[in-house]
Amino acid sequence: MTAQASQATKAATIFIDGEAGTTGLEIRERLAGVHGISVMSIDPDRRKDKSARAEMMRNVDLTVLCLPDDAAREAVALANDLGADAPKIIDASTAHRVAPGWVYGFAEMGPAQADAIRNATRVANPGCYPTGGIALIRPLVETGIIPADYPLTVNAVSGYSGGGRSMIESYVAGTAPPFELYGLGMEHKHVPELQKYSGLTRRPIFVPSVANYYKGMLVSVPLHLDTLPGKPSLRDIEHVLDERYRSSELVRVIPDPSAHTGRLDAESLNDTDKLELYVFGKPELNQAVLVARLDNLGKGAAGAAVQNIKLMLGLG
C-alpha cells in the first residue's frame, strides 16, 4: 500500500490555530463534511499559550494558521522548533505569501501548481483579491497578450466579511459607510502577491473597496486593447483564459457575456468555491473589462484552504 493510500484509510488530524476568527470558523464548518479529516481543538483558555499550541502542532498532521501576520510568523517559529515532529502548515495570513520556501496555494494558477501544493509542507493560502486578479492576468502575461511591464489597474469590491473583525463590527453596528474605497496609500498588503504571481514586472495600481453586504467579490481589470501587442480581440483574450481553465472544476470562463445586461452581481457565487471569469467589451471601441467573481470567504479564503488541505493530505 502506498503512503498516500495508507493515509487515506485513517482520519488525518488538523489543528486550526485561530479557529474562532471568521476564516477559522468557515474552514471548520467546511471540514465537517469532509471524510477522512478530524479537527482537533485547543482548550479556549490556552489558545494563546505557546507551549499548548506547540503541543497541538506536534500531535497533528496539518496546522492551519488563521492569525494576524505577526502571530502567524510566531506560530511558524514554534513549528520549526519541533523539527521532525512539525506538521504541514497552511498559512491563511499575508505573512508568507511571497516568502521563500512557501508554495502559493492557488491550485489553478498553472498546470503544475496543484502538484506543487500536494508535495509541499508549507503553503500560503492566497488572498481573496489576488485570486481573482491572478486568474485573469497571469495567463495573458504568459501568452504575451499583456506585456509583463504593462501599466495595469486592478479594481475590486468585496463584502465586509473580508475586512477583519473591526470592519465587520462596524458594519454590523451600522456605523460604517455603505461604500468606501480604501488602501489609497497604495500599500495594500495584497499587492506583492498580486504582482508576483500575475507575472508582472511593473507594480499594478490596486483600488479595493468595500460595500455594505456580508460576502461576495468582483475583481476587474480594464484594458485598452489597441495598446497591447498585436491588438488582441475580446475573443482572443477569452480563448486564452478558456484554454487555461477548461479542465478546472472550480474556475470557469463564462462565454459571450454580451448576453448579460451590463451588470454583474457580486453575491451570486456565495457559499460556493467557484470562480467565474468574464471578458466584457466593445470591439469598435477597442476596450475591455475583465472581471472575476467569487465568494471572498469561499474560493477567496476558506474554500481555497480546504482545497489545499485535501491536496496536502492526499485526499484530493
Residue 203 near residue 195 (C-beta atoms within 8 A): yes
Residue 292 near residue 136 (C-beta atoms within 8 A): yes
Q: For this structure, is 128 an active site residue? A: yes
Phi, psi of 315 (to 5 degrees): -110, 5
Q: From the candidates 37, 78, 128, 200, which is the catalytic residue?
A: 128
Catalogue the active-site residues: 128
